[in-house]
Chains A and B, each alone.
Chain A
């Protein structure tokens, strides 16, 4: 009869490799696979939508500047966090985030519910010189955001990339009409890839994020992104006990 000896693993690299991969995939199967199968993983809430072209560019700047190294975007379901930051984050709220920005370390505060809390003006001032508004802040200055013109020539390509991983940006008429049904005419127009550059400029003109509606700066994009964080779901329409049942 075959008798397994540990020495066989230790002296055979190929066998060791296969056995190691088997051990790791068991961990993966147990921890990851159920999330696709369990029906309660994702809450059924209304309002979550993809980012507009301008917000998406802002999100890319957020990642470029490494904001995530100090800021998380995930309010955990604890009372102290709820008091400080607002309603806890839902899985559904980051379903269009690739990659998500949950984070695991906070040097600065959590930003998951930042949108609408400060004025655009404050964000511009704070990003240029954080200590001018928060004296005890350790955040670096980002003065170039206001001076640098936003390069949005490749926004279409960025959206197409996200479309391949499941974000419902529309590339043709059929998908556009699906978006009209799901998100309404105004948003569907913003999610239409052939119109991306025009939508982006239009949002800058209308939103006046950096105080100058005529030019498209990186500040415009980043502030537009920061102002939408955590604002998509209207929690006043959701009973708290419904969310309890998704766990």
Chain B
């Protein structure tokens, strides 16, 4: 019985025998698989002819397929198929589709773009793509910013100005925030008095007598805060000095602090240590002039454009 079972029925063995009786079936592959394999061989042969393939000497077979694109001089040029040529052509085709939009954007003044419903539709979609790729890393996807790090672009408070021209200027050349440290030139008491005054300006809880002392210091030659923040403490966009009279805070999270002493501590830190941050990279050269214009309008419409 056992001998009969061991005998191969249909397929033959490979003829190899190990240990006297160990044999190996020779089962042919299914027909459909074999023909599939032949098809891949034929495909490869066709591929060699059509696309770049074998290396030959100091070059390679370029294939008969080619791609037409426009060169920098505006002339049509042909080159054998390759991914770079394909990308160049696709980029040019896409640019051609966007061209009418970008041309209108480039030729119109900002105010007219902002009033054109169609153009604003384009700005909202193209601008959003540009914003999420280039700006959202810091200013966040919705433009809400991050207290302590990056300004909110959706409110009506603008450190460097919120007009179209100023927003463009910020994008093109970048920004670098700076406030000198006062730890050396003012005493601890004077800095605390100033902190109370700054809190009073923003309508935060504070100590009134200290704030009065701080007010004097703010406008004095010793403190000279008014020089950058202005007599009215509303800031100077040409210098990038903050408006201290609103309730918007960037570097010190004063509204988030629970009591007066911790609020004072936060403001004290800024006055004593100064600021040498708020670096925004320049986007000139990284983005095209039209892209910057679209972004300018996009940022302007986020909320508080002036």
Where the two chains meet, the residues of A that have a C-beta atom closer than 8 Å to any C-beta of B are: 7, 10, 30, 33-34, 37-40, 76-79, 82-84, 88, 116-122, 125-126, 132-135, 211, 236, 239-241, 243-247
B58 pairs with A39, CB closer than 8 A:
yes
Where the two chains meet, the residues of B that have a C-beta atom closer than 8 Å to any C-beta of A are: 16, 52, 55, 57-60, 69, 71-72, 77, 79, 82-88, 90-91, 94, 129, 133-134, 137-138, 140, 146, 149-150, 277-281, 285-286
| In-complex Cβ contact of B59 among A38, A77, A243 (8 A) | A38
| In-complex Cβ contact of B94 among A10, A79, A245 (8 A) | A79
A241 pairs with B60, CB closer than 8 A:
no
B55 pairs with A241, CB closer than 8 A:
no
B87 pairs with A88, CB closer than 8 A:
yes
What CA separation (Å) do A247 and B59 show in the bound complex? 10
B128 to chain A, nearest CB (A): 13
Inter-chain contacts of B55 with A (CB < 8 A)? 30, 33-34, 37-38
A244 pairs with B94, CB closer than 8 A:
no
Given the contacts A37-B55, A79-B90, A84-B133, A121 and B83 also touching, CB distance less than 8 Å: no
Q: Whose C-beta in chain A lies nearest to the C-beta of B176?
A: A119
Given the contacts A79-B90, A240-B88, A39 and B59 also touching, CB distance less than 8 Å: yes
B291 to chain A, nearest CB (A): 11
Given the contacts A30-B55, A118-B138, A119-B281, A241 and B69 also touching, CB distance less than 8 Å: yes
**Sampled A-B contacts (14; CB under 8 Å):** A39-B58, A76-B83, A83-B133, A116-B286, A119-B281, A120-B279, A121-B278, A132-B149, A239-B71, A239-B72, A240-B88, A241-B69, A244-B85, A247-B84
Inter-chain contacts of A121 with B (CB < 8 A)? 149, 277-279
What CA separation (Å) do A29 and B133 show in the bound complex? 42
Inter-chain contacts of A120 with B (CB < 8 A)? 279
Given the contacts A34-B60, A88-B87, A117-B281, A122 and B137 also touching, CB distance less than 8 Å: yes
| In-complex Cβ contact of A82 among B58, B91, B286 (8 A) | B91
Secondary structure class of chain B's binding surface, majority of residues: mixed
Inter-chain contacts of A117 with B (CB < 8 A)? 134, 137, 281, 286
Sorted nearest first, the 10 A-B pairs with minimum C-beta distance are A34-B55, A119-B279, A247-B82, A241-B71, A77-B83, A77-B87, A239-B72, A244-B85, A244-B84, A77-B84
Inter-chain contacts of B86 with A (CB < 8 A)? 77
B202 to chain A, nearest CB (A): 25
A247 pairs with B83, CB closer than 8 A:
yes
What CA separation (Å) do A48 and B273 show in the bound complex? 40
| In-complex Cβ contact of A132 among B83, B88, B146 (8 A) | B146
A119 to chain B, nearest CB (A): 4
What CA separation (Å) do A23 and B75 show in the bound complex? 47
